[in-house]
């Protein structure tokens, strides 16, 4: 149940972010590609760094958006 709630909320945030941030989908895809390349190269440190950069970018966007009423509406 908890996983379903988090997943649904995560999906809603992704939709809002994708519709409001230009190139958000392209940037996320590029971030994921960088993480995958590092994993394929078996470079754990690079993979962790790339993942950290990706998560930090999403956290920055989310923190900046917390005062946005449309983002609050995600919870219904």
pTM: 0.63
- Mean pLDDT across 7-35: 74
Supply the Cα-derived Rg of the chain in whole angstroms: 14
Residue 17 has pLDDT above 70, yes or no: no
Q: How far is residue 54's CA from residue 20's CA, in Å, rounded to a whole number? A: 18
Residue 31 has pLDDT above 80, yes or no: yes
CB 50 within 8 A of CB 35: yes
CB 23 within 8 A of CB 67: no
């Amino acid at each position: 149940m908890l996983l379903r709630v988090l997943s649904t909320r995560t999906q809603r945030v992704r939709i809002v972010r994708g519709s409001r941030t230009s190139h958000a989908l392209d940037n996320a895809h590029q971030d994921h590609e960088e993480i995958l390349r590092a994993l394929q190269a078996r470079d754990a440190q690079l993979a962790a760094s790339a993942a950290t950069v990706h998560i930090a970018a999403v956290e920055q966007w989310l923190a900046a958006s917390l005062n946005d009423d449309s983002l609050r509406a995600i919870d219904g």
